[in-house]
Structure 1
Amino acid sequence: MTSTTERPASSREPSWWDKQGDLIMRRPFNEWTFTHMNWLMPTERVARGDTALPLPVAARPLPLTYRFEDRVHTLAELHRHTFTTAFVVLHRGTIVHEIYPGAFAGARSRMQLFSLSKSVTSLLVGIALDEGAIGSEKDRITDYRPDFLGTAYEENTLAELLDMTTGVGDLETWDVPNSGIKQFEQTIMGGGDIADVVRAATRTAPAGERFNYSTFDTQLLGWVLEAATGQSLATYASERLWQKLGADRDAYYWLTRGRPRTAIGGGSLNATARDVARIGLLMAGDGMVDGVQIVPQDWVRRSRGNDKPQLAVGSLGPSGYDHYGYANQWWTLGGDTFTGLGVHGQYLFVDPEAEVVIVKCSAWPTQDDPHRDAETVAALRRVADHFAGR
């Protein structure tokens, strides 16, 4: 996200601390950092419940091929091309394929999910709306965070945050040194209050008019959730989601170094690939786990797409690739298929019709990569088609 207004990262001069994000994300170090963020940042635990719900395992090799750019590739080639660290495939609730090519990854490794965290924040907001902790999607941000009065977000609603149509901020660009997202990252790592960075964002379009991918929008959703529930993001996620999923391991959010310390609802959740797959099963099963409705059914279904033309597949503009649409903090792929995404190649791919859930964690050398993303989507679709017999 870029802006003509300079945002205050902190009052000090730039230092090594400002470069930490670049170092953490650089290959080959990122294969280690993406599984050890709790060694690098303050954290808050997302506690699992007393009993894990077992995931049946019937894992076997998956020797299928997929076509990309007029060539046929194997999944082993996908993993090499796209620096896969974890790859878990579920069909009808059973793990049918599982591999951890990452040097430091395994079934108990908690993976840095980056913006896949946004999709989890959406689930928590849906739960809070259902419980009445949040009144309505039509509520304004300032109903819960009055400190955003007088900012570009003053009139925005929660619905606009959910679909990223607030009209606040420019393109989220990681390679522009003074962009909003880089200042956000530097403040997270080096100290200062990230709310100051978000409050300084400027309006670039009328609310509701266009899609613009924004970590700031999801960060505000997380803060609204905390204000509405009186609980931290990690505590609410534990009580309303993680314990009910039957997760194998505690997850965690890493927190900002500066105080007030806060979780990044748009990017700091870490969890095992198997537990991320459990979220996919929840989404494929209309919000139910073990016969219990955890997330409202209509909330899950609206995450598969909507009728807003500016959010349709192929209509997102410069903030999204042509094969994606957007809905409710999830990326849609047409039909009922959708995915959570995180930079450096994190995917939670859900095809309810095929009854397939795929988790792919990666350590790309760059945050975004249109070519690697297109190849990954082609491969994941092929896996789903294989199990659906399509």
Structure 2
Amino acid sequence: MLEVVMGTGMRRAGGALALGAAVAGLGAGAGWVWRHQTDLAFSRPLNEWAFTHMSAVLPTEPVARASAPRPLPYEPGLRGFTYEHDGERRTLAQLHARTHTTGFAVLHRGVLVCEEYPGRFASPQARFQLFSLTKSVTSMLVGIALEEGALGSLDDKVVTHLPYLAGGAYDGPTVEDLLHMSSGARFVEDYADPASSFADFERAVSGGGSLLELVRSLPRGAEPGGTFNYSTVDSQVLGWVLEAATGMALSQYAHSRLWSRIGAERDAYYFLTRSRPRTALGGGSLNAAVRDMARIGLVMARGGELDGRQIVPAQWVERSRGAGLAHLDVGALGPDYPRHYGYANQWWTLGGERRSFTGIGIHGQYLWVDPEADVVVVKTSAWNTAEDEGRDAETVAALTAIVARLETDG
């Protein structure tokens, strides 16, 4: 599960291309390195470079920053913080070391109470590959488009906006089905299997193949609307629907509806498919600064409002905290997903009375939102593998403890 949150395909391919450029001149062993460049580039420690330099290896489209950055006041507030996991009491520094944190920021009531960059290439200026955290930003943009009337209804059929998908697995699902990963299209999000449909997606993105033809080729696996199947292709199609409905590229819409309105201080960017026509990945190619993702989280923590301006519809934020559908409830997603997560609206939900929620990207990217405490946590990471149940569980324990500590401190 954890995310593919990226159009994962790209993720590994981009770093691989960068590594490939360095192969020449290695002499003996160069052929082996070339054949395994993807695995090398997305493994430690090379992945720390890859996850902050995607613009060096793939074509991109910028998401321009705001004309006037919104200040984020800084008042240290987590001194002496510890959390408990596996029967041990651990510090924030230990969390970073154990879960390979590269960038970390905590907002409480709009104030930065912690900001750290343990990664080798990390800094406030760095743009981090967010993988499937992109999906949650795409969802916010869909909510805005719906409020503005560019998108007619969540009941709109996908093929109403994308008629070239008629006759395939996406002929029947609605926009809402895509948002809940319930399109019914058969797609296996397996990052480790080179024969999986996700591997085909990855090759189409980075190797010059046709992403459109891959989407068209997917068979129907279930009826739309009733079965959860985490799929970056669902998010990719959602991004295409958004572009068709608004008449704008994802990068343009993200700038005009989010980055310009939240006071983003750094340009973000989407990397694009290598083949033409090039396309951004609505499910995984956004790269952005940690502070700007904290600003995105602040909007969601405050019911879509920031500084007196409604940026994302309040009801859209509410549905991102839980869908009220049994097959998407916490613990109901199936044996392949951690039981502490549910899903809704391209966000992972945490349930309970607090109804906190989080965007997640493979290799350890998090945008944790607790509206009740007005707390936002951004964590970028460079895990050695796409998914890691142990590191995810420890991260969840630590972030939950951070919220509790800040509430106790007042």
TM band (smaller chain): over 0.9
The Cα shift of 1:24 comes to 3.2
Structure 2 partner of 1:375? 394
Residue identity opposite 1:168 in structure 2: A
Does residue 364 of structure 1 match 2:352?
no
The Cα shift of 1:72 comes to 1.7
1:307 to 317, 321, 324: 324
Determine what percentage of the aligned residue pairs are the same residue: 55
The Cα shift of 1:239 comes to 0.6
The 1:297–1:20 alpha-carbon spacing in structure 2 relative to 1, beyond 3 Å, is farther
Does residue 144 of structure 1 match 2:161?
yes
Checking the alignment, whether the CA contact within 8 Å between 1:219 and 1:265 is kept in structure 2 is: yes
Checking the alignment, whether the CA contact within 8 Å between 1:213 and 1:319 is kept in structure 2 is: no
Does residue 132 of structure 1 match 2:149?
yes
CA RMSD of aligned residues (A): 1.7
Partner Cα separation in structure 2 for residue 117 and residue 39 of structure 1: 19
Structure 2 partner of 1:255? 272
Does residue 201 of structure 1 match 2:218?
yes
The Cα shift of 1:319 comes to 4.4
CA distances 1:18-62 after superposition (whole Å, capped 9, x unpaired): 966434312111101111111011000001121111111113553
Q: What is the DSSP-based 3-state SS (H/G/I as helix, E as strand, rest coil) of the residue aligned with 1:360?
A: strand
Checking the alignment, whether the CA contact within 8 Å between 1:287 and 1:296 is kept in structure 2 is: yes
Structure 2: where are the runs of 5+ without partners? Answer: 2-8, 10-16, 21-33
CA distances 1:225-273 after superposition (whole Å, capped 9, x unpaired): 1111111000011111110010011100000111110001100000000
2:296 to 260, 279, 283: 279
Partner Cα separation in structure 1 for residue 70 and residue 407 of structure 2: 25
TM-score by length of 2: 0.89
Partner Cα separation in structure 1 for residue 41 and residue 198 of structure 2: 16
Structure 2 partner of 1:338? 357
Checking the alignment, whether the CA contact within 8 Å between 1:65 and 1:72 is kept in structure 2 is: yes
Partner Cα separation in structure 2 for residue 79 and residue 185 of structure 1: 29
CA distances 1:121-174 after superposition (whole Å, capped 9, x unpaired): 000000111111111000111001111111111101000000011121244101
Does residue 245 of structure 1 match 2:262?
yes
Q: What is the DSSP-based 3-state SS (H/G/I as helix, E as strand, rest coil) of the residue aligned with 2:112?
A: strand
Residue identity opposite 1:42 in structure 2: P
Partner Cα separation in structure 2 for residue 288 and residue 154 of structure 1: 35
Partner Cα separation in structure 2 for residue 161 and residue 294 of structure 1: 22
1:270 to 273, 283, 287: 287
Partner Cα separation in structure 2 for residue 268 and residue 62 of structure 1: 34
Partner Cα separation in structure 1 for residue 131 and residue 145 of structure 2: 22
Partner Cα separation in structure 1 for residue 303 and residue 96 of structure 2: 30
The 1:31–1:125 alpha-carbon spacing in structure 2 relative to 1, beyond 3 Å, is same
Checking the alignment, whether the CA contact within 8 Å between 2:303 and 2:317 is kept in structure 1 is: yes
Checking the alignment, whether the CA contact within 8 Å between 1:213 and 1:320 is kept in structure 2 is: no
Partner Cα separation in structure 2 for residue 184 and residue 325 of structure 1: 25
Q: Which moved more, 1:256-265 or 1:163-172?
A: 163-172
Residue identity opposite 1:344 in structure 2: H
1:62 to 43, 57, 79: 79
The 1:24–1:198 alpha-carbon spacing in structure 2 relative to 1, beyond 3 Å, is farther
Structure 2 partner of 1:192? 209
CA distances 1:320-342 after superposition (whole Å, capped 9, x unpaired): 21000011000001132100000
Structure 1 partner of 2:42? 25
Q: Between Structure 1 and Structure 2, how many residues are aligned?
A: 378
The 1:152–1:386 alpha-carbon spacing in structure 2 relative to 1, beyond 3 Å, is same
Structure 2 partner of 1:88? 105
Does residue 294 of structure 1 match 2:311?
yes
Checking the alignment, whether the CA contact within 8 Å between 1:142 and 1:149 is kept in structure 2 is: yes
Structure 2 partner of 1:12? none
Residue identity opposite 2:56 in structure 1: W
Q: What is the DSSP-based 3-state SS (H/G/I as helix, E as strand, rest coil) of the residue aligned with 1:98?
A: strand
The 1:305–1:226 alpha-carbon spacing in structure 2 relative to 1, beyond 3 Å, is same
Structure 1: where are the runs of 5+ without partners? Answer: 2-8, 10-14
Residue identity opposite 1:374 in structure 2: A
Partner Cα separation in structure 2 for residue 383 and residue 60 of structure 1: 10
Checking the alignment, whether the CA contact within 8 Å between 1:115 and 1:341 is kept in structure 2 is: yes
Partner Cα separation in structure 2 for residue 140 and residue 22 of structure 1: 38
